[in-house]
Amino acid sequence: MKYNAITPNGAENNGSFSTEEQENYFLMKDLQIETHLIVERVLDGDSLIVRQEYGQISKEVRLYGLDAPEVRISRKTKEDEAKSGIPASRLVQFGLMSLDFMVILVPPGTRITILTEQKNQLDFWKRQLAYVILPNGKCMNEELIKNGWAKASHEYYCEKLPIYQALNFEAKQQKRGIYLFIDVF
Query: pLDDT at residue 137 above 90?
Result: yes
Which residue segments constitute the domains of the chain, with CATH numbers given? 2-68+108-179 (2.40.50.90)
Q: Are 152 and 167 in contact (CB under 8 A)?
A: yes
Cα gap 47→60, rounded to integer Å: 7
Task: State residue 23's pLDDT score.
Answer: 60
Q: pTM for this one?
A: 0.85
Q: Which long-range contacts (CB under 8 A, 24 or more apart) does 158-166 make?
A: 158/64, 158/65, 158/117, 158/120, 158/129, 158/131, 159/28, 159/117, 160/25, 160/64, 160/65, 160/131, 161/65, 164/65, 164/66
Given a contact cutoff of 8 angstroms between Cβ atoms, the answer to whether 12 and 3 are in contact is no
**Cβ–Cβ < 8 Å for 112, 102:** no
Whether 11 shows a pLDDT value over 50: the answer reads: no
Least confident range of 20-24, 148-152, 165-169: 20-24
Q: Return the pLDDT at 157.
A: 85
| Partner residues linked to 60 by β-bridges | 49
pLDDT over 50 (residue 35): yes
In the chain, the percentage of residues whose pLDDT exceeds 70 is: 88
Whether 4 has a pLDDT exceeding 90, the answer reads: no
Distance of alpha carbon 84 from alpha carbon 101, whole angstroms: 22
Task: Tell me what percent of the residues of the chain surpass a pLDDT of 90.
Answer: 82
Q: Supply the mean pLDDT for the chain.
A: 89
**Is residue 34 predicted with pLDDT exceeding 90?**
yes
The string of pLDDT tens digits covering residues 42-59 is 999 999 999 999 988 999
